[in-house]
Amino acid sequence: MANSNSRRKFFKNALSAGALAPLAVYGQGFETAINNAPKASAPADLKITNIKCGYIRGGHSLFVKIYTNQDVWGCGEGVDATPGTYHLVKLFEARLKGKSPLNVHRLFEDIRRGGFFEGAQSGMYVAVLSAVESALWDLAGKALGLPVYQLLGGKFRDRIRVYCDTALYQSNLPTPKDFADSALKAKNMGFNAIKFDLDQFNDPNKYDPYNWTASPAELQRMVDQVAAARQAVGPNIDICIDMHGRYDAVTAQQIAKRLEPMNLMWLEEPIPAENVEAYKSITDSTSTPICAGENLYLAHGFRRLLEMSAVDIIMPDLQKAGGLGEGQRIANLANLYYVPFAPHMVASYLGAMASCHVCASVPNFLILEWQIYFHDNPMFKEIVKFDGPMVENGFIKLSEKPGVGVEINEEGMRRYATPGMPFFE
């Protein structure tokens, strides 16, 4: 017993002194073990200290980092409805300081409920909340040593299928041959699903820039473009068509009907998404699958769309609709109606991988959006840190690293920072 008490006293004295001096009696190995031991306290002691943010792409891409009292942080991203939102980020920071980042759902509800009279139903408020919520999941995963999908309940799949948005912008008046060439390029890159835009605001066949009804010549131009793409890649490549909500219900019904022989994966947002009854009439009029949802917010925004069977496929943007937990709630709601979940995604690779964790965690995932500019624009590789290739043969391999698995590269991002806006200050 004396020896045992003596050993116990020795360790107690050594630890109370901080174990800073070499413990020669027990050798260098023990000293090294102490030095290499995790210095962070228990997860229960983890507290949020501050939030910093930066903007690129004219303020339309918001990146946040949530810091804690330990050497761990979380990264998140919001898109589109984010210009001029710096002070909103700081408002959320004040509401989160001193709280545990591990209570992700609770913090989400605190901010959402606390903003009932501040715009928490949609728009900028929810877009910024999406960035913060995603960063909380990243932080929690790092603190607990688990990938985000595990925190969301586990995975149904190890890799995430993506479609390539060809970004063949209609402002350049692309020809059917341009569609065919672009489709073949994506196919040769390994993608088995491709998306094109059909809305063309400067189409010379438009009668009126404010009237959303397409002329017969406009309709024929759209049909010819899609037909060229389908002929180029054959019947076994999925083709999606986007109209960005820039037409009326009459045009939507006509183009959906005329594209039925093309066997589309979907026709996306031919009209704005806020009129559920109009979508119902379009969807009921055609065998072409109708897809919508990139401009809807929170699960509330999808409820009537699903209840009325107004669309065939939903496409929430997880960097705008409420974040990762809310994205999973939207997917699970859609699953009750046997509706596929195909998230919209115009973020960086951080947002893409964050979306992948949600896509892996739900059974009704169909496909995720991927942008050709990830391959063409070096900025998208410079603003993040990640392991391995971004995408291979039309699939993203799900990260197994703690958290999201992709980090913000502040130095790389600084070169593209929006002028006049604070940058991680």
Round to whole Å and give the CA distance between 190 and 161: 11
pTM, 2 dp: 0.89
The CATH code that applies to domain 151-401 is: 3.20.20.120
Round to whole Å and give the CA distance between 301 and 294: 10
pLDDT at 410: 96
Compare 209 and 236 and report the one with higher pLDDT. 236
pLDDT at 167: 85
pLDDT at 293: 97
Say whether pLDDT at 405 is over 80: yes
233: β partners: none
Query: Exposed, middle or buried, 159 (CB in 10 Å: 0-12/13-18/19+)?
Result: middle
pLDDT at 172: 83
Which of 41-45, 301-305, 338-342, 362-366 has the lowest average pLDDT?
Answer: 41-45
Round to whole Å and give the CA distance between 55 and 83: 8
Taking a C-beta distance cutoff of 8 angstroms, is the pair 184, 232 a contact?
yes
Round to whole Å and give the CA distance between 218 and 210: 15
Give the whole-number percent of the chain exceeding pLDDT 90.
85
Strand (E) positions, 126-228?
159-165, 193-197
Say whether pLDDT at 14 is over 70: no
The widest CA-to-CA distance across the chain, in whole angstroms, is 99
pLDDT at 3: 41
Which of 122-126, 170-174, 187-191 has the lowest average pLDDT?
Answer: 170-174
Say whether pLDDT at 24 is over 60: no
pLDDT digits (tens, 9 = 90+) for 244-286: 999 999 999 999 999 999 999 999 999 998 899 999 999 999 9
Mean pLDDT of all residues in 287-312? 98
Compare 6 and 177 and report the one with higher pLDDT. 177
The CATH code that applies to domain 43-145 is: 3.30.390.10
Give the strands of the sheet with 73-79, arranged side by side: 48-56, 61-68, 73-79
Amino acid 420 reads G
pLDDT at 168: 85
> What rounded mean pLDDT belongs to the chain?
91
Tokens of 217: 């010549």
Q: Which residues of 208-233 are buried (b: 16+ CB within 10 A; e: fewer)?
A: eeeebebeeebbebbbebbbbbbebb
pLDDT at 169: 78
- The residue ranges of every structural domain in the chain are 43-145, 151-401
